[in-house]
A = this chain, B = another copy of it.
Amino acid sequence: MFLVPEEQLPIILKGVQTVVDERELKDKLQYSYDTRKPLIVKLGLDPSAPDIHLGHAVVLRKMKQLQDLGHQIVIIIGDFTGRIGDPTGKSKGRAALSSEQVKENAKTYYNQIFKILDENKTIVRFNSEWLSALNFEDVIQLASSISVARMLERDDFQKRYKNEVPISLHEFFYPLMQGYDSVEIKADIELGGTDQTFNILMGRQLQKHFGLEKQIALFMPLLEGLDGIEKMSKSLGNYIGVNEAPEVMFKKVMEVPDSLIIKYFELATDEHPSRIGKTQERLEQGENPRDIKLELAEIITTLYHGEEEAEKAFDFFKTAFQKREIPENIPMLTLTLEHQTLEQVIPLLIENQLVKSKSEFIRLISQNGVSLNQQKLRKEDLVNVIQSKDVLQIGKKRFIQFMR
Contacts and interface: CB of A to CB of B under 8 A. Distances in A.
- Pick from A147, A161, A173 the residue with the most CB of B within 10 Å: A147
A366 interface: no
A87 interface: yes
Contact of A84 (B140, B166, B176): B140
Given A167-B147, A169-B172, A135 B134 contact: yes
Interface in A121-170: 131-152, 157, 161, 164, 166-170
Interface in A325-341: none
Nearest to A140: B170
Contacts of A144: 86-88, 168-170
A166 B139 contact: no
Given A137-B84, A139-B136, A173-B140, A149 B167 contact: yes
- Pick from A134, A139, A149, A169 the residue with the most CB of B within 10 Å: A169
- Pick from A83, A84, A137 the residue with the most CB of B within 10 Å: A137
A157 B133 CA distance: 30
A148 B169 contact: yes
Contacts of A139: 136, 139, 173
A140 B170 CA distance: 5
Contact of A136 (B132, B148, B166, B172): B132
Contact of A168 (B134, B143, B168, B170): B143
Contacts of A135: 132-136
Contacts of A141: 87, 170
Contacts of A87: 140-141, 144
Interface in A172-211: 172-173, 176
B147 A168 contact: yes
A60 to B, nearest CB: 28
Contacts of A88: 144
Given A148-B152, A148-B172, A166-B149, A136 B143 contact: no
A83 B87 CA distance: 28
A148 B132 contact: no
Contact of A161 (B136, B138, B148): B148
A143 B173 contact: yes
A360 B146 CA distance: 61
A144 B91 CA distance: 12
A325 B135 CA distance: 66
Contacts of A136: 80, 131-132, 134-135, 138-139
Nearest to A176: B169
A161 B140 contact: no
Nearest to A134: B136
Contacts of A172: 143, 148, 169
A170 B144 CA distance: 5
Contacts of A84: 137, 140
Instruction: Give me the 4 closest cross-chain CB pairs, A-B, nearest first.
Output: A87-B144, A143-B170, A143-B169, A147-B166
17 contacts: A80-B136, A87-B141, A87-B144, A131-B136, A139-B139, A140-B170, A143-B173, A144-B169, A144-B170, A146-B168, A146-B169, A148-B161, A148-B166, A149-B164, A150-B166, A151-B169, A169-B176
Given A133-B135, A141-B170, 20 more contacts: A83-B137, A84-B137, A87-B140, A87-B141, A87-B144, A131-B136, A132-B135, A139-B139, A142-B170, A143-B170, A144-B169, A144-B170, A145-B169, A147-B167, A147-B169, A148-B157, A148-B161, A151-B169, A169-B172, A169-B176
